[in-house]
């Protein structure tokens, strides 16, 4: 058996091999050491202390342990027994039936219902990079291609956050990809596509780099899954120019999907706007959120459908009720293709399909063109629903092994077998009575045991009445046991019925499953449409619950928001407690808004809310404001807060400047830029210089000319309003009373000349002695600053005096060779010069 393990392991060296032995999956040798540590289980050994390292897990707990290994990035080969051990001659035959990797998981117990689990493939052709993405659990498959650069590849990967990335070993940027800190498993593969996938590949036209990536992905799936990939029947091309470009920094800083601090969904924008009823809708909403539209017609198409849902509250309620009863059709389709679907899944599918005609009818009755168009895209699968309805009992067991799955009346042969099995005792009782009558043996009994099966027992006093047709089976002290040809037939019928029932039910179940497989494309299509409808219902519900308004989209450069609110903050503190603010941005007089004010007053909140309102408008959602006019934005850039990137050896300031460089290189006049405290990571004068230079660069129409919100503590930058057209000063209103301040959280025109740092420290709970001492020190510094200015003036007068009256002194300074003197010599020279100055 160990030799068998070694042979199989040699074929899967890059995997942890889970080797089925009875009721356990076992790992041996180095795999055992790795697995024991990763799974926190005991490491033992086979054949004593110095034997082969061994670690094992129970088969019934495979999913739990498999999830742990996948989360740590391991590839796992599942090696099962592929023949009945009772019938095996010698070592039972074993094969790897599946290779499970972080990106190939289809088990819904290991996945988040409302999250995709993408796997990515990277390839190149010429100077272009091809990227292909697949969610193996749903069948969603798409590709794109673009410039072969780490920056562009990183931006796309960061958007979809695949759990696994596969590349060829020759990929030129492989080493850089390995430095990505996005928790992505990266594997090198080289493979060739079989002819089975040619129809899929024929869908790819004129995208050579994209085609190479798709091939790589298909090969990897075929190699690891060792199963049908029928759920991968359509592949879409994603034109990145159709969507707002969001990089990882902006996605993270705006907390679109998860929070910065705890990396949790709760507290993110997604958590606030997600009112979806289904897993399909939840996944679709996340994709929409990360891919805001640029085409006004498409955006308005979504907004108009939300309009229609808002106008008919009963329609909205009925649609949400129906969608909430629909199973995850995408992941169900994959289970059908992989033949892992169970009877309960098919009943769930039937119940889901039976809701589709009702949804279609609701949409058509709305008499709204856009909603009717959605209805027309839905496929009625009444025939398939009827097959499942007629074939599967309404409350089946989870597995097919125990029987009781197929409905009575669906198959006559099965009905007869079930009748035989259920009425076996009755049939035997009838046979016993018949034999008693025929033979005249009143004490004759039909009995059963596991050794002899069914037999007829006759006491010795009645042996003379036993017919010749009885065949002796066993002799006892007081009786004889016999069997007959008829009894043997009954035995075969009764004992074989249960086994035949299980086998026939399985065959019938497979027939029904095949009927589902034939409709897999229609099921996936319905899933896509229902996901969209669920998102639109979510937008309508959100608008009602949170009092959002319909935005007006335009192709000009103006963003005008009346009483805008931060969608997440207002949810946290309550809408009544949130202070709304107006915004006016354009590429003319209001291009750069310089926002000053103390920390904690709300500068970052205000900036983010403008970005979030813009983004929500471009996904076709209503927005938290009284009014909103949004000029289409092609990218949102954020530079809001920085931290040391220790993994790559970058300081806070280096991270800050890297992000600023990215913005200045890639922003266009259609971009929206959020810059918060640029330059704070270095000295005041350096930081202020960089901040002002960045503003001037952003203002230049031939350079960028982008709409920018610029929050700063450098109050000197407020002077730019007088120097440049397009700069406007705003500040956060603060109410002062005695030595305390109250944040009013409202934006007002005009700059602020104070940061209120000590007052903020007091609000934050810094102890009173520290606050008092801070005030004392501040007074000294301010006085010292005045003195230094006076000293500076005096020193200038002295040097003027020296210059006029003591040329010898000047010459002496000029003759000093600072490159050759020692520190001690320099100190002596300085003392002499000081004496001369004092004597002047």
User: What is the per-residue pLDDT across 622-636, written as a single tens digit (0 to 9) for each?
Assistant: 999 999 999 999 999
Assess whether pLDDT exceeds 60 at residue 644: no
Q: Which helix (H) or strand (E) is 551 found in, with range?
A: none
User: pLDDT value at position 775?
Assistant: 67
Quick one: average pLDDT of 656-683?
85
Q: Which of 545 and 206 is assigned the larger pLDDT? A: 545
User: How many angstroms separate the first and last alpha carbons of the chain?
Assistant: 101
Confidence of residue 89 (pLDDT cuts 50, 70, 90): confident
Q: Is the pLDDT of residue 792 over 70?
A: no
pLDDT tens for residues 256-307?
999 988 889 999 999 999 999 999 999 999 999 999 999 999 999 999 999 9
* Confidence (pTM): 0.83
**pLDDT at residue 799, rounded to an integer:** 46
Contact 731, 750 (CB under 8 A): yes
Of 562, 583, 566, 584, the residue nearest 575 (C-alpha): 566
Which residues, listed in sequence order, are joined to residue 447 by a DSSP beta bridge? 455
Which whole number is the average pLDDT over 8-23? 92
Closest by CA to 315, choosing from 260, 367, 382, is: 367
Over residues 73-96, mean pLDDT: 87
pLDDT score recorded for residue 818? 61
Question: Is 244 marked within a binding site?
Answer: no
Order of strands, sheet of 552-554, starting from the edge strand that comes earlier in the sequence: 552-554, 627-631, 559-564, 581-585
Report DSSP state, residue 243: B
Question: What pLDDT, on a 0 to 100 scale, did the predictor assign at position 490?
Answer: 84
Each as own residue / partner, the long-range contacts of residues 67-74 (CB below 8 Å, 24 or more positions apart, any chain) are: 67/109, 67/110, 68/38, 68/39, 69/16, 69/35, 69/38, 69/39, 70/100, 70/101, 70/102, 70/105, 70/110, 71/102, 72/38, 73/102, 73/183, 73/185, 74/15, 74/16, 74/34, 74/38
> What does the CA dihedral 149, 150, 151, 154 come to, rounded to 10 degrees?
130
Mean pLDDT calculated for residue range 532-542: 98
Higher pLDDT: 245 or 753? It is 245
> What pLDDT score was predicted for residue 275?
97
Q: What pLDDT, on a 0 to 100 scale, did the predictor assign at position 9?
A: 94
Is the per-residue pLDDT at 430 higher than 80? Answer: yes
Q: What is the three-class DSSP state of 343?
A: helix
Mean pLDDT of 504-530: 96
> Does pLDDT of 538 surpass 90?
yes
Question: Which residue did the predictor score with more confidence, 61 or 533?
Answer: 533
Decide if 596 contacts 733 (C-beta within 8 A). no
3-class DSSP state for residue 458? Answer: strand
- Give tens-digit pLDDT for 103-133: 999 888 888 999 999 999 998 888 888 999 9
Query: Could you read off the pLDDT of 326-339 as tens digits, one per residue?
Result: 999 999 999 999 99
For position 785, what pLDDT does the model report?
A: 55
Check the annotation: does 601 bind a ligand.
yes
Please tell me whether 279 is known to bind a ligand. Answer: no
pLDDT band at 794 (very low <50, low <70, confident <90, very high): very low
pLDDT of the residue at 685: 74
Residue 599 assigned to a binding site: yes
56 in a labelled binding site? no
Looking at mean pLDDT, say which of 182-191, 608-617, 827-836 comes out highest: 608-617
Lowest mean pLDDT among 287-301, 490-504, 569-583: 490-504
pLDDT (tens digit per residue) in 459-486: 999 999 999 999 999 999 999 999 999 9
| Lowest-pLDDT choice from 109-123, 171-185, 340-354, 757-771 | 757-771
pLDDT reported for residue 828: 67
CB count in 10 Å sphere of residue 139: 24
**Mean pLDDT throughout 817-834?**
66
Is pLDDT at 433 greater than 80 in this prediction? yes
Categorize the per-residue pLDDT at 798 as very low, low, confident or very high, splitting at 50, 70 and 90: very low
Model pLDDT, residue 7: 94
DSSP annotation of 210 reads: H
Confidence of residue 205 (pLDDT cuts 50, 70, 90): confident
Give percent above pLDDT 90 in the chain: 54
Residues 6+ apart with CB under 8 A from 72: 38
Q: pLDDT-based confidence at 601, cuts 50/70/90?
A: low
| Sequence-ordered list of residues with C-beta below 8 angstroms from that of 743, at least 6 positions apart, any chain | 598, 600, 601, 602, 732, 734
Task: Kindly tell me if the per-residue pLDDT of 786 is higher than 60.
Answer: no
Is the confidence at residue 181, as pLDDT, over 70? Answer: no
pLDDT mean across residues, the chain: 86
- What confidence score (pLDDT) does residue 824 get? 62
Smallest CA-to-CA distance from 201 within 186, 227, 222, 182 is with: 222
Q: What is the pLDDT of residue 606?
A: 93
Q: What is the average per-residue pLDDT within 198-226?
A: 86
Q: Is the pLDDT of residue 684 over 60?
A: yes
Q: Is residue 144 scored above 60 in pLDDT?
A: yes
Does residue 72 surpass a pLDDT of 60? yes
Q: What is the mean pLDDT of residues 380-392?
A: 96
Token pair in block for residue 572:
């946290």
pLDDT of residue 758: 63
* Cα radius of gyration (the chain): 38
Token pair belonging to 497: 């019925």
Structural domains in the chain, CATH included, are: 2-100 (3.40.1170.10), 110-241 (3.30.420.110), 292-381+519-546 (1.10.1420.10), 412-509 (1.10.1420.10), 552-763 (3.40.50.300), 806-840 (no CATH)
Question: Alpha helix locations (H) across 519-596?
Answer: 520-546, 567-573
**742-759 pLDDT per residue, tens:** 666 688 888 766 665 666
Q: Is 600 labeled as ligand-binding?
A: yes
> pLDDT per residue over 439-448, tens digit each?
999 999 999 8
Residues whose CB is less than 8 angstroms from the CB of residue 155 and which lie 6 or more positions away in sequence, other chains included: 245, 247, 248
């Amino acid at each position: 058996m160990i030799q068998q393990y070694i042979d199989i392991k040699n074929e899967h060296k890059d995997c942890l091999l889970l080797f089925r032995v009875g009721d356990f999956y076992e790992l041996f040798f180095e795999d055992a050491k790795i697995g024991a540590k990763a799974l926190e289980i005991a490491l033992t050994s086979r054949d004593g202390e110095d034997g082969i390292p061994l670690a094992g897990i129970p088969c019934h707990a495979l999913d739990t342990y498999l999830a742990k290994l996948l989360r740590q990035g391991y590839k796992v080969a599942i090696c099962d027994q592929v023949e009945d051990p009772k019938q095996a001659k010698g070592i039972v035959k074993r094969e790897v039936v599946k290779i499970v990797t972080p990106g190939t998981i289809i088990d819904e117990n290991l996945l988040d219902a409302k999250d995709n689990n993408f796997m990515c493939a990277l390839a190149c052709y010429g100077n272009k990079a091809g990227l292909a993405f697949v969610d193996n659990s749903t069948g969603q498959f798409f590709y794109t291609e673009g410039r072969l650069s780490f920056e562009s590849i990183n931006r796309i990967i960061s958007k979809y956050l695949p759990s696994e990335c596969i590349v060829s070993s020759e990929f030129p940027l492989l080493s850089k990809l390995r430095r990505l800190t996005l928790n992505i498993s990266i594997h090198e593969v080289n493979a060739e596509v079989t002819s089975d996938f040619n129809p899929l590949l024929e869908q790819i036209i004129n995208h050579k780099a994209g085609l190479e990536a798709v091939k790589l992905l298909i090969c990897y799936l075929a190699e690891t899954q060792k199963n049908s990939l029928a759920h991968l029947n359509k592949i879409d091309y994603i034109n990145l120019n159709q969507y707002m470009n969001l990089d990882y920094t902006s996605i993270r800083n705006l907390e679109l999907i998860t929070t910065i601090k705890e990396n949790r969904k709760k507290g993110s924008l997604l958590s606030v706007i997600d009112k979806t009823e289904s897993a399909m809708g939840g996944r679709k909403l996340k994709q929409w959120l990360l891919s805001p539209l640029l085409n006004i017609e498409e955006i308005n198409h979504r907004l108009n459908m939300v309009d229609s849902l808002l106008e008919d509250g009963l329609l909205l309620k009925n649609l949400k009720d129906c969608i909430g009863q629909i199973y995850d059709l995408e992941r169900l389709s994959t289970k059908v293709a992989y033949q892992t679907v169970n009877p309960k899944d098919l009943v769930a599918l039937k119940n889901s399909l039976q809701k589709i005609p009702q949804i279609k009818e609701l949409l058509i009755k709305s008499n709204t063109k856009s909603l009717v168009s959605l209805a027309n895209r839905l496929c009625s699968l009444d025939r398939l629903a009827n097959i499942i309805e007629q074939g599967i009992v309404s409350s089946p067991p989870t597995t097919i092994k125990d029987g009781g799955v197929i409905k009575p009346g669906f198959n006559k042969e099965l009905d007869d077998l079930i009748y035989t099995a259920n009425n076996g005792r009755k049939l035997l009782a009838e046979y016993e009575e018949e034999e008693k009558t025929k033979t005249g043996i009143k004490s004759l009994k039909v009995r059963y045991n596991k050794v002899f099966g069914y037999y007829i027992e006759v006491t010795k006093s009645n042996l003379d009445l036993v017919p010749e047709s009885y065949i002796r089976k066993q002799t006892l002290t007081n009786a004889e046991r016999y069997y007959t040809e008829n009894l043997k037939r009954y035995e075969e019928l009764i004992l074989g019925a249960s086994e035949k029932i299980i086998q026939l039910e399985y065959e019938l179940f497979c027939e029904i499953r095949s009927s589902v497989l034939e409709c897999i494309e229609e099921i996936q299509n319905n899933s896509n449409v229902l996901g969209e409808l669920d998102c639109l219902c979510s937008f309508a519900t959100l608008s009602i619950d949170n009092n959002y308004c319909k935005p007006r989209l335009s192709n000009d450069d103006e963003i005008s928001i009346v009483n805008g609110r931060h969608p997440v903050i207002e949810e946290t503190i309550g809408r009544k407690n949130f202070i709304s603010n107006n915004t006016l941005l354009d590429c003319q007089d209001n291009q750069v808004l310089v926002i000053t004010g103390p920390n904690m007053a709300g500068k970052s909140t205000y900036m983010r809310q403008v970005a979030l309102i813009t983004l929500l408008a471009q996904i076709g959602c209503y927005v938290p404001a009284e009014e909103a006019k949004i000029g289409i934005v092609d990218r949102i850039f954020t530079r809001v807060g920085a931290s040391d990137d220790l993994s790559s050896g970058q300081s806070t300031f280096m991270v800050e400047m890297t992000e600023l460089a990215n913005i200045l290189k890639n922003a266009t006049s259609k971009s929206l830029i959020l810059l918060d405290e640029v330059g704070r990571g270095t000295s005041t004068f350096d930081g202020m210089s960089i901040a002002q230079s960045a503003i001037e660069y952003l203002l230049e129409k031939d350079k960028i000319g982008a709409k920018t919100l610029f929050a700063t503590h450098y109050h000197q930058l407020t002077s730019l309003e007088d120097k440049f057209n397009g700069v406007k000063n705003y500040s956060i209103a603060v109410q002062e009373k005695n030595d305390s301040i109250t944040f009013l959280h409202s934006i007002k025109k005009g700059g602020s000349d104070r940061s209120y740092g000590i007052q903020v420290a007091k609000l934050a709970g810094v102890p009173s002695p520290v606050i008092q001492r801070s005030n004392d020190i501040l007074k000294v510094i301010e006085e010292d600053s005045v003195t230094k200015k006076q000293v500076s003036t005096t020193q200038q007068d002295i040097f003027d005096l020296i210059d006029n009256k003591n040329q010898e002194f000047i010459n002496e300074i000029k003759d000093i060779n600072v490159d050759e003197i020692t520190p001690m010599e320099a100190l002596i020279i300085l003392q002499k010069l000081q004496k001369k100055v004092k004597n002047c």
